[in-house]
Structure 1
Amino acid sequence: MAEAAERSVSGRLTDDEAEERLARIDGLLAELESAPGPTVRRALEAVRLLSEVYGEALARLLDHTGAEPSGRPSPGEDELVGHLLVLHGIHPEPAERRAARAVERLRPAVRERGGDVEWAGLEGRVARVRVSEGGGGCGAGCGAASSPLLEAVREAVLAAAPELAAVERVPEPSARRAAPAFVPLDALARPATRG
């Protein structure tokens, strides 16, 4: 267990280590929330208050860093920092923009496999995406509520905008039917001329 708690050589957490710790925190908080007793309630209150204070500190930090363009990505673009900013309700970028960007980042890899994914908008707290599977025609998962591709899109969108409740597939627009060719009525009524 001591090895799992150690940090990388630089003293900073890698993305995988941070993700592992976030999952562990979620599990521990879920266990605490289901445990009875006043001690548990006080512990949960302490965690909530600590989160509020850290959230305020982060908001003030953002106030200071937002003033100068540095050429570096904004703090909210770092996934771990972004989660923290969302947790405290202070992420500078709207959930819809972050979710749409996550879909656009997936798009080249999906197209490489013969499919496509497109941002279709936000409805309340539900992200809506168009997903077409590769392989020509419908393929596995066409029209299905869930597919491996849709699950990958869902995971990416909710990682970028964890405050969203769900990701839903919307149907692709029907193929447009070719409009019938316009034939003027007088062309039908005229006798054909031979040249």
Structure 2
Amino acid sequence: MSAATAATPVNAEQTGRRVEEVLERLTASGDPAAAAAAEELVRSLMDFYGAGLARILHLLSAAPGGPAARLLGDELVASLLVLHDLHPEDRDARIARALDSVREHALEMVDFDEGSGTLSLRAQESGGGCGCGSGADARQAAEAALACFAPEVRAVDVRTAPAGPPLLQIGAAPKGAR
């Protein structure tokens, strides 16, 4: 692999969708042998890369003061480890890591429904609780980070919590009042 290839950003979610689309096209082509061969190829490559990743993770975690923690914070590496069921952190730790990567949105985990895969989050309002629609941005940022770190999260529900007590409007006293 050249240095230029290594530096090219790869989006795990888009790559997964692309593989699925190619497999669907092969299935739709009407040639069941080609579709079966393509699926076998994908499975074989997944097994091969999964075994390699397991070995790398083992070697890194065995090294004193190893760089495994830095690797776990990388979205691409984390998504590969999750895909191959090799990520050493549990789901809640991976969700916390994902939310930490979008900390500018001040998101806090409230609950995770395993049945539906829905993660409920609370976002702290900034700027005095204006209620301006930054919740959609926070949800999109959380969904993108969670796709890499915790793909078992299939939906995100963001609720906004007021940052503090409501502000009181203070105006001039009515005429005649002292």
- TM value normalised by structure 2: 0.70
Identity %: 33
- Give the Cα separation in 1 of the matches to 2:15 and 2:87: 23
Alignment-derived partner of residue 136 in structure 1: 128
Tell me by how many angstroms 1:130 deviates. Answer: 0.3
Structure number, greater radius of gyration: 1
* Equivalent position amino acid for 1:84 in 2: L
Q: Which of 142, 148, 157 in structure 2 is aligned with 1:159?
A: 148
Alignment-derived partner of residue 108 in structure 2: 118
With a CA cutoff of 8 Å and minimum separation of 6, indicate the structure with the bigger relative contact order: 2
Tell me by how many angstroms 1:117 deviates. Answer: 2.1
- Give the Cα separation in 2 of the matches to 1:129 and 1:160: 16
1:166-185 CA distance string (max 9 Å, x none):
22224649x89xxxxxxxxx
Alignment-derived partner of residue 33 in structure 1: 24
Unpaired segments ≥5 residues, structure 1: 1-6, 111-115, 177-195
Alignment-derived partner of residue 173 in structure 2: none
Matched, 1:47 2:42: yes
Q: Do the aligned residues in 1 keep the contact of 2:101 with 2:145 (CA within 8 Å)?
A: no
Alignment-derived partner of residue 62 in structure 2: 67
* Equivalent position amino acid for 2:95 in 1: A
How many residue pairs were aligned?
A: 157
- TM value normalised by structure 1: 0.65
Q: Calculate the aligned-residue CA RMSD, in Å.
A: 3.0
Unpaired segments ≥5 residues, structure 2: 166-178
Alignment-derived partner of residue 191 in structure 1: none
* Equivalent position amino acid for 1:40 in 2: A
**CA gap 1:102/1:96 in 2 versus in 1, 3 angstroms:** same
Partner SS for 1:119: strand
**CA gap 1:106/1:28 in 2 versus in 1, 3 angstroms:** closer
Tell me by how many angstroms 1:22 deviates. Answer: 6.2
Matched, 1:100 2:96: yes
